Amino acid sequence: MNAHLFIIHFPVSLAVIAAGLDLFGIAMDDRSLRDWSWRFLLMAAIAVFLAFATGEGAELAALGSGGVPPVRVARHAELGSIGVWGVIGAALLRTLWRKRTGGLFSWLNLAAVLIATGLLIAITFTGTLVRHGG
């Protein structure tokens, strides 16, 4: 079994936790929760890069099995190729702005986490279609 299938669960879980921490941090006006959100998003960016790096082997295995429509694999690969850089970009922006938790930057930080989480959920959905059909 390909390593990609083991790694892919981590970026999604980490990003969802990051989004939840950021939302709670805003609601409770707690800077430490927002700092933890940044840490989880950074870990998600590292994990999504590892998932991306192992994706080609999974793609070859899926296409080699013959049971998966190539269009589903191509859609997942395209979205994964775009999404990985979106998540890494969001983590880098969040790193640059992590000390800025007031005003406009507060909302930009939240938007970065939510966009990264949305991208990962979309990638996961297309990957689920590759693996389980539908």
In the chain, where are the structural domains located?
A: 4-132
pLDDT in 10s for each residue of the chain, 134 residues: 688 888 888 999 999 999 999 999 999 989 999 999 999 999 999 999 999 988 888 788 777 777 778 888 889 889 988 989 999 999 999 899 887 777 888 888 889 999 999 999 999 898 888 877 65
pTM: 0.87
Please report where in the chains the tokens 């899926």 appear, as a residue.
62
Q: Which residues contact 71 (CB under 8 A, 6 or more apart)?
A: none
Instruction: Say how many residues make up the chain.
Output: 134
